[in-house]
Structure 1
């Protein structure tokens, strides 16, 4: 497509150059009238001169492919929205090419929210005045709004954009239970982010709303408290069948309590990623019970993240690797783990007490002689939940190297660590380099044995680029 666009551009430039040269040649053929010419020719000369000053030619026409390629460059800038609005005023052709991009994911903030609402919702009665632009909105991000909207207005926006809406991020103060009917009609919704909602609707009503959203793949529950308040445990028993059918990414947060953790006895079998964070009421025994009963049977689960749970003790999650042998990516705060996380001998008491599951998630008897080795873990991410001190030495590069040498995590290839853990300091720099070499050595053996654990990596240098230790802000 890029080559065709370049060819069309060259043809247009050649035609414009040819037309300009022809007009200049005609201008040079004109001669001034000789002295003594009759005065009746003067008006004719004046008209010809005027026509020469305004050449008759059509405006330059660019193919749509070139305009779309130009508009692609505007998306990478912070002022993309204002630039796109200016481009829409150039001509009808530019308007037709720009408007779908401008309304695909509008950036909403305090000053432009009212004009946006007036454009999409010109009337309270939907059938009186309908805006054709509402069908262009596919990403509705209202996370930057606090008090600019109202609960009824958020419901109206969801009702107007329900046809093609794919992602919705709810505002903090203007999402409530009256938005659920409109939300249930967003049949193409793929991502639902309610993490900022301050007034959470009851969890049973929320899950009944999303149960019919077959395209929903990622959902983040609100951080606000009250999921289990004023609800009997029996009311949660039927929620296992109300999760969206194709849900793959779930974030549990907020005031989930023991009723919630014990009541949800099953998650959808399609779940691939689970995050548990910002849960001030969750205790260690409840989280462990949830991992044993509801998370362990998920055969397709690949990623787990646990952080910002203040009631967990300093070693509350030491069992997580052996509770969930199917995951290949673990992100955990060092506030809740110790080097026993990798110690096989520490968990021999779990060998007979933990249920085992096959690839379909069905329970089976564990093998008495099978070692407690986590063969699937490939990426380990160590974060910091905000403890002021005393966590830098909880897990060190040496602890991970010992676990690799002992065979507890033989397929680990990536280690990501928060900069606040000070692994980049001079005292641990050599240990980090040694760990990097050990991880890359394992990746080299994978490559030579034609066993590659990471998808989408090609070329002989791929394993060097993927395996190692990385530091990130956190």
Structure 2
């Protein structure tokens, strides 16, 4: 009897356990299904959710600071600014001026941008208010997009506020000049990428009326020749930065005798026809009289000899920054005796009636005189060089890495040839950072910083303390500071290029 009761009790316990396990499995399955359904429901609600409360109000000043912070990260900020315009009318009003101020144009977004700027071919039918927001129109990344008529139309629509224009390679031509002449606020005009330059007389006539123009880059396809009246080219009245490039030949270099006195910076690059004697003559007759000139850059001139510009510092003592390819200079560029020798030699200036063939024969590289109809003058006495920044680049010719070394620059400083030099910038392709010259470059940087430190204290009427002694004027605190002000503006820098 007891055994039967025990057996029945065990069977009942087993059945109850089986029921409980089945219930747990059923509950787990149900919960899993409910979880999936709830998740799908939540996703569906999230996709179609609408705000039931008023959005948080932010003052206009805060929103303006936010969108200005975003705009500083161009070109990556363009998509974010476009998203800000979709938030509300308040965000739209704050973000849309920055969105169109400096648009980043490329193949995929050019057509939508064009529709926004030119909703109608006829301006009188439909005008775009957003076109007046554009301050910088950079079309450098556009090659096959658009046409010449579209470029002219864009210039015509954005002329009211346009301050900077970089022309595209293939879609800028003479039909764009009338619209360009109406961009009265234009400050920067870059035509360096234009593959087919418009006639230069028409181009110069157009830009001569742009009173706000400060920087002008000529097309690399520009052709200067004897058929152009180069001596009468009208320059913009307030031009400060000029880049000469293209088919500049001896006719232009000898014929142009006056640049605008407002120039502060000149770049001469990518001129495959220019020879050394003609370029030196241009430096003497047209560039040397520019008393406000501070910066000169010369590079990518394949017909210049290996020492064609050794006298550039002597010819232009007013320069504060010189950027030159080492392909065209030797250490003689820093040699004071070399300058003194040149100062004793007369140089020749062609008369206004001299024919080009005579001038071509009258300017050999050694500056010798001849019997042609010329006016003979003497170079003025040597002046103290104002050069503060020297930038050494390379035009890609092999075997130029060791033409100028840190030791050459250091010797020039110690001999007093370059008393005001504070910065030396060198392209990495010259290998100043290699183990063979790295220590010399560091020594040069120390010399530059030491001279800059002395100048820094002299300008402020302070005395450099000897050792670590306290002089009671707070100089010691400056000397021991983590960021010494004279070190930020003096030294040797390497750059890619």
TM-score (norm 2): 0.77
Find out whether 1:386 has 2:393 as its counterpart. no
Give 1:448's match in structure 2, choosing from 434, 457, 466.
457
Counterpart CA distance in 2 for 1:328 and 1:366 is 24
Tell me how far 1:206 sits from its aligned partner.
0.8
The 3 A distance-change label for structure 1 pair 100 and 275 is: same
The 3 A distance-change label for structure 1 pair 437 and 56 is: closer
1:138-169 C-alpha deviation (Å, 9 max, x unpaired) = 10011110010101110000000001100000
Counterpart CA distance in 2 for 1:220 and 1:437 is 37
- State the match for 2:491 in structure 1: 468
Give 1:292's match in structure 2, choosing from 259, 275, 284.
284
1:176-218 C-alpha deviation (Å, 9 max, x unpaired) = 0110010000000000000000000121111110001000000
1:331-377 C-alpha deviation (Å, 9 max, x unpaired) = 0000000000011111324325369xxxxxxxxx9898x5x354301
Superposition map of 1:261-272 within 5 A: 261-272=253-264
CA contact (8 A) 2:319 2:385 kept: no
The 3 A distance-change label for structure 1 pair 430 and 373 is: farther
Runs of at least 4 residues of structure 1 off by over 3 A? 54-58, 352-355, 365-368
Counterpart CA distance in 2 for 1:56 and 1:383 is 63
Counterpart CA distance in 1 for 2:99 and 2:383 is 51
Tell me how far 1:78 sits from its aligned partner.
4.4
Find out whether 1:72 has 2:71 as its counterpart. no
- State the match for 1:59 in structure 2: 55
1:373-430 C-alpha deviation (Å, 9 max, x unpaired) = 5430111000010113x11110111111111111111111111111110011111122
Matched residue of 2:109: which SS?
helix
Matched residue of 2:322: which SS?
strand
1:53-78 C-alpha deviation (Å, 9 max, x unpaired) = x9985332111111112212322164
Structure 2 stretches lacking a partner, 5+ long:
1-49, 349-376, 462-477
Find out whether 1:117 has 2:140 as its counterpart. no
Tell me how far 1:225 sits from its aligned partner.
4.3
Find out whether 1:196 has 2:209 as its counterpart. no
Counterpart CA distance in 2 for 1:320 and 1:56 is 73
Superposition map of 1:8-157 within 5 A: 58-75=54-71, 76=73, 78-157=75-154
Matched residue of 2:459: which SS?
coil
Decide which structure has the larger Cα Rg and report it: 2
CA contact (8 A) 1:166 1:190 kept: yes
Find out whether 1:436 has 2:433 as its counterpart. no
CA contact (8 A) 1:373 1:407 kept: no
- State the match for 1:219 in structure 2: 216
1:26-75 C-alpha deviation (Å, 9 max, x unpaired) = xxxxxxxxxxxxxxxxxxxxxxxxxxxx9985332111111112212322
Matched residue of 1:431: which SS?
helix
- State the match for 2:430 in structure 1: 421
Tell me how far 1:326 sits from its aligned partner.
0.6
CA contact (8 A) 2:75 2:104 kept: no
Counterpart CA distance in 2 for 1:193 and 1:331 is 20
Tell me how far 1:285 sits from its aligned partner.
1.0
Give 2:311's match in structure 1, choosing from 298, 316, 319.
319
Counterpart CA distance in 2 for 1:308 and 1:57 is 64
Matched residue of 1:449: which SS?
helix
Aligned length: 398
CA contact (8 A) 2:68 2:98 kept: no
Counterpart CA distance in 2 for 1:222 and 1:384 is 22
TM-score (norm 1): 0.81
Counterpart CA distance in 2 for 1:79 and 1:380 is 33
- State the match for 1:40 in structure 2: none
CA contact (8 A) 1:321 1:374 kept: no
Counterpart CA distance in 2 for 1:380 and 1:112 is 41
Counterpart CA distance in 1 for 2:445 and 2:141 is 40
